[in-house]
Amino acid sequence: MRISVPTEVKNNEYRVALTPAGVHDLVLAGHDVAVQRGAGVGSSMSDDEYLAAGATLIDDPAEVWARAELVLKVKEPIASEYGYFRDDLTLFTYLHLAADLPLTDRLVADGVTAIAYETVQLPGGTLPLLAPMSEVAGRLAPTVGAHTLMRSAGGLGLLMSGVPGTRPAQVTVIGGGVAGANAAVIAVGLGADVTIFDTNIQRLRFLDDHFQGRVKTAASNPLDLDRAVVASDLVIGSVLIPGAKAPKLVTNDMVSRMRPGSVLVDIAVDQGGCFADTHPTTHADPTFEVHGTVFYCVANMPGAVPNTSTSALTNATLPYVRQIARRGWKDALRADAALALGLNTSGGAVVNTGVAAAHGLAAASFADVL
């Protein structure tokens, strides 16, 4: 199969969809892999490494897209890339279509077969291609939160750990999934007083056992969550519903009652965010103020540590890429129910029910698309 890896063009996105090792793996299997020149530089992976791995280097992004049967990306295509779409193209990337109607409409209009990393789902409900980036974003959230709490960054001037005789930061993590659990690991490691909210009591039992009392757990309900958010110095939102928009759990009224200089980090911003006032920001301009608090809502947080993120992503996606490349997308999806759930659009139709519901569209059945 002809596989292409274009350079990411979203603001401050330094990741790349395949490491040189991933390219080498696919080339050994007999596939033709083209990488846009410079695609890996932001991840500290040089063109020479890709050449040595067997990739063909191409300068022109239009050529990179045009020669491909399968395009591998990290982030969803932006408007400047829509012109590369065509009906015989398979796209495998993070899409987050529930929060992006223009991209959804264009993928449908152009008949692209779009498979989203974030909706590939194993029988137990785990999201194997979202997990590595959730781990990265979760571990970054307390780090950027701690930085933003500094007065020089607009925060209230609080050290996460405090020092003897002073209080540590009160941190509330909303959502105890992969991102939330990883956020708690770092926040408690920084010495903060951490509480995790989740609606799943079994998950809370697991987290309580895992952290051995170092983190508080709380069953999420509007009253208790309101009290915790208002009393917090740092709130980390990490609620995810696969393929659908995140629920708005932190209201503007709750934010208005927080201490000025408190910080809110929304990991769920790619899915619309779980704070009412969330809107996507960039690494170049990551924060904005609401009622004197500071919101950090960067839509590609793992892009800040691209060397780690690219390696972690390739580790997770490569087994699925191998199957698509070897079998073709239809047979690969027929053979793997988890991968089949990743199909978001194909043949001019929306297939994912969460995406369809978010935009008021009818969802085509998987069987009909095949």
What distance separates the 2 farthest-apart alpha carbons in the chain? 65
Of 25, 266, 270, 277, the active-site residue reads: 270
Beta strands in 97-192 (DSSP E): 113-116, 170-174
Q: Is 270 a catalytic residue?
A: yes
Work out the angle between the directed axes of helices 131-148 and 178-189 (0-180°, nearest 10): 40
Reduced to 3 states (helix: H, G, I; strand: E, B; else coil), residue 218 is strand
CB atoms within 10 A of CB 152: 8
SS3 content of the chain, % helix, strand, coil (to 5): 40, 15, 40
The CA-CA-CA angle for residues 154, 156, 158, to 5°, reads 120
Instruction: State whether residue 298 is helix, strand or coil.
Output: strand
Residue indicated by tokens 């990551």: 286
Kind plus residue range of the DSSP H or E element containing 343: strand 343-346
CA distances from 237 to 173, 202, 272, 362 (A): 6, 20, 11, 30
User: Bridge partners of 92?
Assistant: 72, 115
Which residue among the candidates 24, 25, 31, 96 is catalytic per the annotation? 96
Tell me the β-bridge partners of 33: 3
Residue from 111, 109, 110, 78 nearest 93 by CA: 78
For residue 67, the SS3 value is coil
Q: Would you state the torsion angle of the CA atoms of residues 315, 318, 319, 322, taken in this order, to the nearest 10 degrees?
A: -160
Name, in order, each residue with C-beta under 8 angstroms of 110's C-beta and a sequence gap of 6 or more: 82, 85, 86, 87
Structure-block tokens of residue 124? 């137990």
The residues annotated with a catalytic role in the active site are 96, 270
